[in-house]
Amino acid sequence: MNKDAQGRAEIAVIGGSGFYSFFADDAEEIVLDTPYGVPSAPITVGEVEGRQVAFLPRHGRNHEYSPHTLPYRANMWALRMLGVSRVFAPCAVGSLVPEYGPGTVVVPDQLVDRTSGRTQTYFDEGGIHVEFADPYCGELRRAAVQDTAIDGGVMVVVEGPRFSTRAESQWFARQGWTLVNMTGHPEAVLARELELCYAPIALVTDLDAGIESGQGVRAVDVFAEFQKNIEPLKALVRSAVRDAPTGDCPTCRVHTGITLPIELP
Annotated binding site for substrate: 182, 206-208
Contacts 24+ apart (CB under 8 A), 120-123: 120/185, 120/186, 120/189, 120/190, 121/186, 121/189, 121/190, 121/193, 122/73, 122/77, 122/190, 122/193, 122/194, 122/262, 123/193, 123/260, 123/261, 123/262
Of residues 229, 193, 199, 163, the one with CA closest to residue 90: 199
| 206 among known catalytic residues | yes
Residue 68 near residue 159 (C-beta atoms within 8 A): yes
Contacts 24+ apart (CB under 8 A), 121-125: 121/186, 121/189, 121/190, 121/193, 122/73, 122/77, 122/190, 122/193, 122/194, 122/262, 123/193, 123/260, 123/261, 123/262, 125/261
Of residues 207, 196, 184, 224, the one with CA closest to residue 90: 184
| 109 among known catalytic residues | no
Annotated binding site: 17, 58-59, 182-183, 206-208
Residue from 206, 221, 243, 248 carrying the catalytic annotation: 206
Residue from 33, 134, 147, 208 carrying the catalytic annotation: 208
Annotated binding site for phosphate: 17, 58-59, 183
Distances in whole angstroms, Cα of residue 171 to Cα of each of 46, 51, 101, 111, 214: 43, 42, 19, 16, 18
Residues annotated as catalytic (active site), given as ranges: 206, 208
